[in-house]
Structure 1
Amino acid sequence: MKENKSPFPPSFKEALRFWFKLGWISFGGTLGHISIMHNFLVEKKKWISSSRFFHALSLCMLLPGPEAQQLAIYIGWQLHGKKGGILAGIFFILPSMFILLALSCIYVSYGNQAWMDAIFSGLKPAVVAIIFHALWSVGKKALHTIFHYILAGLAFASIFFFNISMPYIIFGTIVSALILRYFWPSLVYKGKAGESHESLNEQNYYINNKTEGGKNFKAKLLWKQCLLFAFLWMLPLFFFYALSPDFTFWKGLILFFTQTALFTIGGSYTVLPYVAQFSVSRFNWLSKSQMVDGFALAETTPGPLIIVVCYVGFMAGFNHFDGSLVMGTVGLLATTFYTFLPSFLFIFVGGPILERTRGSVVISDVLGFVTAAVVGVILNLTFYLGKDVLFPQGLILHKIDLMALLWVFVSVVLIFKFRLNIVYLILLSMLYGLLQYCI
């Protein structure tokens, strides 16, 4: 292969076309997004080296919020500065937001129809299988030692049996990792950070390990960015206070999704159990059945799975304001804004700081423990949703839904054995539900 000794930066228009396209084709959750970005940015275009790509991904996994979107913001920022990062992050979520808005409107308008119920009866078991596949995929990569398995079990027990919030679980995980690493380093130590993702031809990439990061960090700039974030955060809140007759509801929704965005570390599968648990059980914004339907809708759209929180915001506004599509739309837009706004802050403010951790073994080891805890959280999500899909009348063994169990099994076989694309599985599941309805 011909070496490019002086790689040129991509044009802004070319990068913009990719970010726009990514928002429409990125099916398959976080793993799908990362695969598409790595294939195009690293292997095809050589805009960023593989080692730099995976280092950035690891750092994004330590940040709250959706790591795939943050990775897009980070790479866009490295390529074309702040404007590149902003547009990469916006285009990552915009298409799926509009698609989910349309699907949510259809859902509340026609969801009580028998044929619509049949479609969701086919989709729900497939969603359980998809989440189980995520559990298996993350578990294979995250659980290396007996302590990783113990930590995953403790994380599951904490959230499933004791209803402990995710921020406390993640904080406890980080503290545990640091303590174990200090007193028993042989149990935690993983080796040189980034070793498995070294690139043999770094000089062929525009952004590589020799590209300096974090040089532009200035405390004054950090404060300016934080003040701008605070202003943007306050602006919609002010309009809700001035224009809405029910400011208490909107304040609660805004504070909840801001807290979710700021304190839930570990990606979509960490955020979603937290959102599902509180929005259903504490706030009563929607029913558990509607929550499962929301997962099914989110799986049919491109973009991150965390986009399901936009559906939750829609249902919260729709239900609270007596079936108003307008208020549902406002709820969806507000939820989208407050869920994804912090990702830009984390990258633009924290990016230069985190870049200085490149090569840090401590960060790599702590990340391993955090990822192990995420496995326990995904297991909780599997149980939380699966029990209502398989036992719609309660945990009574002889009242298990055999047709749902059958489709969970078929979906698992199609994903694991035949590696069926998630999009095709969703279409097959919809057809399965309609066939049940016709029979």
Structure 2
Amino acid sequence: MPLSIPFPVLLRAFARIGLLSFGGPAGQIALMHRELVEEREWIGEEDFLHALNFCHLLPGPEAQQLATWIGWRLHGWRGGLAAGLLFVIPGAIIILSLSTLYAMAADLAWVEAVFLGIKAAVLAIVVQALVRIAGRALDTVLKRLLALAAFAGLFLFDLPFPLIVLGAGLIGIGVSALRPEWLALKSSGVSGALPARPWRSTILSVLLWGAVWAAPMVLIAVTLGQDHVLWEIGTFFSQLAIVTFGGAYAVLAYMAQEAVQDFGWLRPGEMADGLGLAETTPGPLILVTQFVGYLAAFRAPEPFSPLVAGLLGAALTTWVTFTPCFLWIFAFAPWIDRLGQTTRLKGGLAAVTAAVVGVIANLTAWFALHVLFEVVGERRFGLLRVYWPDPASLDWRAGALALVACLLAFCAKWSVLRILAACGAGGLMLGLTI
């Protein structure tokens, strides 16, 4: 049976995670693993990885969905709703504030300075988590090969994320039937009674959250019409929420092209600015959509003022981006445990677990390049894609802070909060004085 965690304790834990969830999905998953698996022991290692596998198969931000699943596991619907919201709200508030300042051309130099240090700290935390998760998840040669193949497929060959997951799953299914020891398959570690009528729960969740998802769009259609920018924003990001397999990185190029070239919501270069803001705030990286929605409505505000229109655009974007996440988790959560009872499915998910380590390694490498270098280009050699950082753009301040953060994390064993605070202060001093 799941642990009996008092609901106020759960709220405090996820409020802390929501405030500290920097660094994109790799950092967020690492933070939840450290807080909930290692320190609090609310979720077992196998359950955590099992659910993480499943969340990677769903569209949307996997870290937020994992938080929602953990909350659901511990306290049902209200736990899942609370955990999911607390994971998103702090970052959403910060992105909304920064988007407002950005639109009004405010000076964000001190913010950039603080987050210079925070990004460096997150890099160390992510590397530490990658080492820990890999050490526990990659317990056979085949799993290590799958992780390496996933990393190479994403980082070097730019393969579609769904193809990586599907390929790993099919390999796992086949291997489980022939050589289950290659995946070190164990009896199910998932505890608790299976839902008696999961179809009923799934159908109810789809109907309820489908209605919640559609509610603001119906209101906009009735009051403003389908020619208004808010309708365009809601429609576009609703569609995006369905195809965001692999997290925000998988759709950034498509979103930038549509927002700049087709809709004309942003000017060239502004998408990168929004991504920079999203990368330096807690919460899912997909919150960059809120920045886009704010500017789109801010620049076509009628019949509202620019500020009100921007707030509405940001709120609508966040609504249609994250409501589907609750739909997926609440609809399919009752089935996660059942999937773990089938040997072949367990094999498929075990292989996906190994591939996910490669995915996290890919995100870690991508994040490291963009923290340490201001200019990172790409070169193509046939099917091979190589990231090519400009040596002249190396940010020695970020490198020095990242080294300090690694020493604090690996040697001094400091907590995440202390590392973030120390590096944030260091970034502020370096950013404003040098």
TM-score normalised according to structure 1 size: 0.72
Q: Which residue of 2 aligns with 1:201?
A: none
The Cα RMSD (Å) is: 4.4
Structure 2: distance between partners of 1:406 and 1:181:
43
Alignment of 1:324 with 2:322, yes or no, is no
Map of 1:435 onto structure 2: 433
Q: Which amino acid aligns with 1:211?
A: G
1:354 to 324, 336, 339: 336
Name stretches of at least 5 consecutive residues in structure 1 with no aligned partner: 1-5, 199-207, 393-399
CA–CA distance in structure 1, aligned partners of residues 361 and 124 of structure 2 = 11
Q: Distance in 2 between matches of 1:107 and 1:48?
A: 40
Q: Determine the structure 1 residue equivalent to 2:230.
A: 250
Q: Quote the residue 1:70 is aligned against.
A: 65
Distance 2:186 2:284 in 1: 25
**Residue 90 of structure 2 corresponds to residue 90 of structure 1:** no
- Please give the alpha-carbon distance, in whole angstroms, between the structure 2 residues aligned to 1:362 and 1:338: 31
Matched, 1:341 2:323: yes
Identity of aligned residues (%): 28
SS of 2:193's equivalent in the other structure is coil
Q: 1:74 to 1:411 in 2, by over 3 A?
A: same
For residue 232 of structure 1, report the CA deviation from its aligned partner.
1.6
How far apart, CA to CA, are the structure 2 residues paired with 1:7 and 1:182? 28
Superposition deviation, residue 268 in structure 1: 4.8
Map Cα deviations across residues 214-239 of structure 1 (whole Å, 9 max, x no partner): x2443244223222222222211112
CA distance in 1, matches of 2:216, 2:337: 32
Residue 329 of structure 1 aligns with an amino acid whose one-letter code is L
1:70–1:344 CA contact under 8 A, matched in 2: yes
Unaligned stretches of 5+ residues in structure 2: 378-389, 410-417
* Structure 2 counterpart of 1:364: 350
Matched residue, 2:383: none
The SS at the match of 1:303 is coil
Q: What is the CA–CA distance in structure 2 between the aligned matches of 1:408 and 1:370, rounded to whole Å?
A: 27
CA distance in 1, matches of 2:364, 2:23: 16
Paired amino acid for 2:71 = G
| d(CA) in 1 for partners of 2:90, 2:335 | 31
Which of residues 389, 400, 412 is equivalent to 1:410?
Answer: 400
Contact 1:151/1:373 (8 A) holds in 2? yes
| Partner secondary structure for residue 183 of structure 2 | coil
Tell me how far apart the structure 1 counterparts of residues 46 and 169 of structure 2 sit (CA, whole Å).
Answer: 25
CA distances 1:194-222 after superposition (whole Å, capped 9, x unpaired) = 79xx9xxxxxxxxx743224x24432442
* Change over 3 Å in CA distance of 1:189–1:346 after alignment to 2: farther
Task: Indicate whether 1:177 and 2:163 are aligned.
Answer: no
Per-residue CA distance 1:304-356 (angstroms, 9 max, x = gap): 33333322322232244499222221121111111111111111111111221
Q: C-alpha distance in 1, partners of 2:29/2:186? A: 17
- Please show how residues 197-346 of structure 1 align to structure 2 within 5 Å: 209-213=190-194, 215-244=195-224, 247=227, 249-270=229-250, 272=252, 275-276=255-256, 278-280=258-260, 283-287=263-267, 289-321=269-301, 324-346=306-328
1:10–1:240 distance in 2 versus 1, CA, 3 Å: same
Tell me the residue number matched to 1:205: none
Q: Is the 8 A contact 2:65 2:84 kept in 1?
A: yes
Distance in 1 between the 2:264 and 2:127 partners?
Answer: 28
Q: Is the 8 Å Cα contact of residues 269 and 378 (structure 1) preserved in structure 2?
A: no
Q: Contact 1:152 / 1:376 at 8 angstroms: preserved in 2?
A: yes
* Equivalent pair of 2:23/2:280 in contact (CA under 8 Å): no
Q: Which amino acid aligns with 2:167?
A: S
CA deviation profile, 1:259-309 (whole Å, cap 9, x unmatched): 333232334554556545654465443345333333343344333333333
SS at structure 1 position matched to 2:292? helix
CA contact (8 A) 2:259 2:265 kept: yes
How many angstroms does 1:79 deviate by? 2.3
Match of residue 192, structure 1, among 165, 176, 184 = 184
CA distance in 1, matches of 2:262, 2:364: 21
Tell me how far 1:158 sits from its aligned partner: 6.2
Give the match for residue 389 of structure 1.
Answer: 374
Superposed, which structure 2 residues align to 1:28-39 within 5 Å? Answer: 28-34=23-29, 36-38=31-33
Letter in 2 for 1:366: V
Change (3 A) 1:433 1:86: same
| Partner Cα separation in structure 1 for residue 260 and residue 367 of structure 2 | 14
The amino acid of 2:55's aligned partner reads: C
Pick aligned residue for 2:6 from 1, 11, 27: 11
Task: State the AA in 2 paired with 1:353.
Answer: W
The letter of the residue matching 1:354 is I
Distance 2:2 2:62 in 1: 27
Deviates more, 1:121-130 or 1:235-244: 121-130
Q: Secondary structure at the match of 1:301?
A: coil
For residue 44 of structure 2, the aligned residue among 28, 31, 49 is 49
Stretch deviating more after TM superposition (71-80 or 22-31):
22-31
Instruction: Give distance in 2, aligned partners of 1:276 and 1:429.
Output: 29
Partner Cα separation in structure 2 for residue 209 and residue 175 of structure 1: 23
Q: Take 1:10 and 1:210, find their aligned partners in 2: how far apart are those partners?
A: 16
CA deviations on 1:156-206 (whole Å, 9 max, x unpaired) are: 5665xxxx8xxxx233224433554577789998523579xx9xxxxxxxx
In structure 1, distance between residues paired with 2:398 and 2:268? 19
